[in-house]
Chains A and B, each alone.
Chain A
Amino acid sequence: GAVVSQHPSWVICKSGTSVKIECRSLDFQATTMFWYRQFPKQSLMLMATSNEGSKATYEQGVEKDKFLINHASLTLSTLTVTSAHPEDSSFYICSATPSGGGGGEQYFGPGTRLTVT
């Protein structure tokens, strides 16, 4: 149980284009999902908290107009990197917390490798 999927697993795009990454909780509902960014050999950096049916909460220094987050249902959150540039190349990981109690555990997706050329 508690499986989170991401799509695509890797993507290459040209500078200036937009890329959408999907995060799905497959066997549970998630009121809250999180988006992280991870550079090679570094820890996870929280970008934003995604709440179903409301606006995302962005961490300091994260451009909300560049990283658009939509949490349209209890099982799906999307991250759109708009006008991507090479410096946006990174490993993007989402996580989800099961709704309705429990221990508040966060379950992570497998990540999406974004390369902007």
Chain B
Amino acid sequence: QQQVKQSPQSLIVQKGGISIINCAYENTAFDYFPWYQQFPGKGPALLIAIRPDVSEKKEGRFTISFNKSAKQFSLHIMDSQPGDSATYFCAARGNAGNMLTFGGGTRLMVKP
């Protein structure tokens, strides 16, 4: 059973546009929600993360919006650049140990 659902599976955005990726979770025990960026043939890199006591977190062009009541969170990439083209994974961590549950991933392509 997939506990973190991610959408869309793929996304094409024009350079300078906003990329939006959404995730929904079921387990209310999750207490930490990171986003990872992965380039082909590389390991995932931690991009930005949020905890459920905060509704929004911004780091540079990347913003996480978190809706605890709806059990949803999203990644917004402002002023998207071709170099942002990668696969993005949302994840959630339970409060027992540090094990992460990953979403299915979103392949983002930013067209010049």
Task: List chain A positions with a Cβ less than 8 A from chain B.
Answer: 4, 6, 32, 34, 41-44, 46, 49, 91, 93, 95, 97, 103-111, 113
Q: Is B71 an interface residue (CB 8 A)?
A: no
Asked if B32 and A110 make an inter-chain contact with CB atoms under 8 angstroms apart, the answer reads: no
Per-residue interface assignment for chain B, residues 78 to 112, with 1 indicating a CB less than 8 Å from any chain A CB and 0 otherwise: 00000000000100010001111011110100000
Which A residues lie within 8 Å of B45 (CB)?
108
Q: Is the interface of A mostly helix, strand, loop or mixed?
A: strand
* Known contacts A42-B105, A43-B103: A103-B32 contact under CB 8 Å: yes
How many angstroms between the C-alpha atoms of A34 and B102 in the bound complex?
13
Whether B102 lies near A111 (C-beta < 8 A) is no
Question: Are the CB atoms of B44 and A44 closer together than 8 Å?
Answer: yes
Within 8 Å of chain A (Cβ to Cβ): is B12? no
State whether A46 touches B49 (Cβ < 8 A): no
Question: Which residues does chain A contribute within 8 Å of B105, judged by CB atoms?
Answer: 41-43
Given known A-B contacts A105-B49, A111-B42, A44 and B97 have beta carbons under 8 A apart:
no
Task: Please name all residues of chain A whose beta carbon is closer than 8 Å to the beta carbon of B107 when the two chains form the complex.
Answer: 41
Known contacts A34-B99, A43-B104, A113-B41: A104-B46 contact under CB 8 Å:
no
B52: Cβ under 8 A from any A Cβ: no
Given the complex, which residues of A lie within 8 Å of B46, measured CB to CB?
Answer: 105-108
